[in-house]
Amino acid sequence: MSDHKTMTLTLIVWRQKNANDPGKFETYSAKNITEHHSFLEMLDCVNEDLILAGKEPIVFDHDCREGICGMCSQVVNGAPHGGQDRTTVCQLHMRKFKDGDTIYIEPWRARAFPIIKDLIVDRTALDTIIQAGGYTSCHTGGVPDGNAILIPKPIAEEATDAAECIGCGACVAGCPNGAAMLFTGAKVSQLALLPQGKAEAVARVKNMTKAMMECGFGNCTNHYECQAACPKGINVKFIARMNREFLKAQFA
C-alpha cells in the first residue's frame, strides 16, 4: 500500500449544527488519500485529523458501506451519491478523483428532509409514506406452497426491479422539486404488480400519494433526474405505473 501515490484534495463541506442553524461551507484538506479509499473512508481520514486537532468531525450517515442499506446520503459536486452510475456514495472510490481536485459535499436538500446535522438529514418522511400503505394487511394464513400463487416470471422480475429501492432518498435529492415520486412509485408498483398487493391497491396508491404531498415533497415534472440519481437504477416507468394506478383508483 505504501507504494501507492497519494492524493491531496480540497473538500468544501456543508457544516450545520442543527435544523435551526443557517449552516455554511467549510474548507478542509484531505491528505494521503489513495485511489483505494472509498469516499466515506476518505472522510474518515479527514475526521481523524479533525478529532486529533480537537475539532468537531464532519457528521454523516452510513451503515453497511456495501451499497445496500441506503443510509449514506451525500451530494458530491451537485450529484446525489457522486453521480457514478448505480453507485451509492459508500461505494464511490477515490480513483474517480484526481490529485488536487476540489470536491463539494452537501447533504440531501429537500423541504421534506430537514437537516439534523452537517450531512445528516431526517428521512422520516419516507417512512411516513410507507406507513400510509406500503405493506399488505390481508391475513395470509400459514405459509403457502411455493407454487400455490402463480406469478408469471416477467411480472415477478418487474416487481423485484421496483423492490430494489433501498429508500436512500437520492431521487428526492436529485429532483429539482424535491419530489418523492420515484420512491413512492417503486413502492406502489412493487405491491401492485403482485397478487398479494393487488387487494389493497386502490387505497394504497391514494393514501401513499396523499402522505407524499403532506410530507412536503414537490410534484413530478418529468425531468427524470431521479432515475439518474438512483443508485439502484429504479426506472421512471414505475412513476408512470403509479400514475396509471392512481387514475385507475379514481374509477374503483
Partner 1 sequence: MQFFKSSIGRKILMAITGQCMVLFAVIHLLGNSSIFGWLPGGINAYAHHLHSLPAPIIIGFRLGLLLFVVVHICYGIQLTIENRGGRPQQYAVKSVQKATFASENMIWTGVLLMAFILYHLAHFTFQIINPETAALKNMVPGLDNHVVPNVLGMVLSAFQNIGVTLIYAGAMLILFLHLSHGIQSFFQTMGWSSDKTQPFITKAGTLAALALFLGYAAVPLTILVHILK
Question: Of 34 and 129, which CB lies nearer to partner 1 in the complex structure?
Answer: 129
Using rule CB under 8 A, residue 220 touches partner 1: yes
* 43: nearest Cα among 3, 69, 67, 72: 72
Classify residue 93 by its DSSP letter.
B
* Residue selected from 30, 46, 88, 106 as contacting partner 1 according to rule CB under 8 A: 106
How far apart are CB 24 and partner 1 at their closest, in Å?
A: 11
Q: Please give the Cα distance from 129 to 206 (Å, whole number).
A: 11
Using rule CB under 8 A, residue 233 touches partner 1: no
Strand (E) or helix (H) holding 54: none
Q: Three-class SS of residue 76?
A: strand
**What does the block give as the cell for 34?**
489513495
How far apart are CB 227 and partner 1 at their closest, in Å?
A: 7
Contact positions with partner 1 (CB under 8 A) in 159-188 = 174-179, 181
Sheet of 75-76, strand order: 24-33, 7-15, 102-106, 75-76, 79-80
Question: Of 43 and 192, which CB lies nearer to partner 1 in the complex structure?
Answer: 192
Question: Of 34 and 97, which CB lies nearer to partner 1 in the complex structure?
Answer: 97
Using rule CB under 8 A, residue 131 touches partner 1: no
Contact positions with partner 1 (CB under 8 A) in 58-97 = 75, 77-79, 83
Q: Please give the Cα distance from 202 to 244 (Å, whole number).
A: 11
Q: In one letter, which amino acid is 10?
A: T
Using rule CB under 8 A, residue 216 touches partner 1: yes
Q: Give me the torsion for CA of 192, 196, 201, 203, rounded to 10°.
A: -150
The residue count for binding partner 1 (CB under 8 A) is 51
- The contacts found for 95-99 with CB under 8 angstroms, 24 or more apart, are 95/35, 95/36, 97/7, 97/9, 98/7, 99/5, 99/6, 99/7, 99/8, 99/9
* Residue selected from 190, 217, 231, 232 as contacting partner 1 according to rule CB under 8 A: 217
How far apart are CB 236 and partner 1 at their closest, in Å?
A: 7
* Residue selected from 7, 42, 186, 242 as contacting partner 1 according to rule CB under 8 A: 242
Interface ranges with partner 1 (CB under 8 A): 12, 25, 75, 77-79, 83, 104, 106, 109-112, 174-179, 181, 206, 209-210, 212-213, 216-225, 227-229, 235-237, 239-247, 250
